[in-house]
Structure 1
Amino acid sequence: MDMMTIRAAGPADLEAIGRVHVEAWRHAYHGIVPSSFLHRMDPAVSAERFRRRLSDPKQAFWVALAGEEIVGFASGGPNRLADFEADAEIYTLYVCPSWQGRGIGRRLVCQLAEGFAEQGYQSVAVVAFRDNPWRRFYERLGGMLVGEKTFEVDGVALPEIVYRWSDVEELRERAK
């Protein structure tokens, strides 16, 4: 993986973040999320949604670059999952389909975990669609299945699962 870097995301990255988000959703969630929703996804709308997250000082937001091209991103912060015990939560983790399988996701998770540890978080949670085959990534990193919930998209209730790491340092080490 030549010239791969991870750095904090900034406002100038939003257009590329929106593009990566839409590409990753359309690839990973084809056949899982209603196609009506996937077809309506717009990189500019995604970029604007991430603009609000980027401006939240409680959230960490990282991008992965191959040379100068943003090929992945991840964000996280305080746990928002009221029904699941954890200090921190991985909110997003997306890598361009053509760049998947090259360790980018691991590097982004490692960066998030390092930040979580620095902030004093002890445990981490993440939510994934149950039928998403890429969720095994979290299992390979030692995530323990701790529950289920649902997310509605275009009137369809999609089952989700929640993974948890009780030790943020263990997550960081496994993601290295």
Structure 2
Amino acid sequence: MYIRKATVADAKGIAKVHVDSWKSTYKNIIPDEFLKKLSYDQRTDSWNRNISREGNYVFVAENNEGEIVGFADCGKRENNNINNSGDLTSIYLLKEYQGQGVGKQLLKQLFLQFEELGFNRVFVEVLEDNKTRYFYEYYDANLIKSEKITVAGAELNLLIYEWNNLNQVLSKC
């Protein structure tokens, strides 16, 4: 497995992972009608913008054949007003690559980026029914807040976690 910084040329591969992983991760969480409407083309356009956006850091995981099988991104959300802090905005893997340490490698890369940026606090938002929350908890994320959100007409619980010891996370990776 190879982890590297994404380029605009990776947008299509990231979009495929994004759509496919959402369909498997959020099945029975987010309404099927919403998941069925997810589009590779739409997500490719979105990832072209995300990769190019200043202050956003995107990394990809490639398998031995050079195919993108996962991605992660981080930066600082517009609504994050806390000094020296950032946000882990996503880690997604194709289902067949989950549980093989790829997420751990991507997490490590994000936390190295946070360290380089001088952040000492990191936040991540995750739906309560998304099993990924246990991954974040394993890496010592602390639940600080829960709020109700609506996605495609479904009311869901959004959990907000915080890390305030980047070295602890990096040593565990």
Partner of 2:71: 73
Alignment of 1:4-153 (within 5 A): 4-67=1-64, 68-82=66-80, 87-153=85-151
Give the CA deviation at 1:81. 4.6
Deviations 1:25-84 (A, max 9, x none): 111110000111001011111121121111112011000000201000000012445488
Partner of 1:161: 159
RMSD across aligned positions (CA): 1.7
Distance 2:79 2:59 in 1: 21
Distance 2:4 2:138 in 1: 24
Distance 1:117 1:84 in 2: 16
In structure 2, list runs of 5 or more residues that go unmatched. none
Partner letter of residue 146 of structure 1?
A: I
After TM superposition, the structure 1 stretch with the greater mean CA deviation from structure 2, 88-97 or 149-158, is 149-158
In structure 1, list runs of 5 or more residues that go unmatched. none
Distance 1:130 1:24, change over 3 A: same
Distance 1:84 1:164 in 2: 12
Partner letter of residue 70 of structure 2?
A: G
Distance 2:83 2:93 in 1: 27
Residue pair 2:84, 2:118 contacting (<8 A) in 1 also? no
Residue pair 1:79, 1:87 contacting (<8 A) in 2 also? no
Give the CA deviation at 1:172. 1.9
Residue pair 2:15, 2:43 contacting (<8 A) in 1 also? yes
TM-score where L is the length of structure 2: 0.93
SS in 2 for 1:91: strand
SS in 1 for 2:161: strand
Distance 2:77 2:148 in 1: 17
Give the CA deviation at 1:149. 2.3
Distance 1:114 1:82 in 2: 20
Distance 2:43 2:77 in 1: 22
Across the two proteins, how many residue pairs are aligned to each other?
A: 172
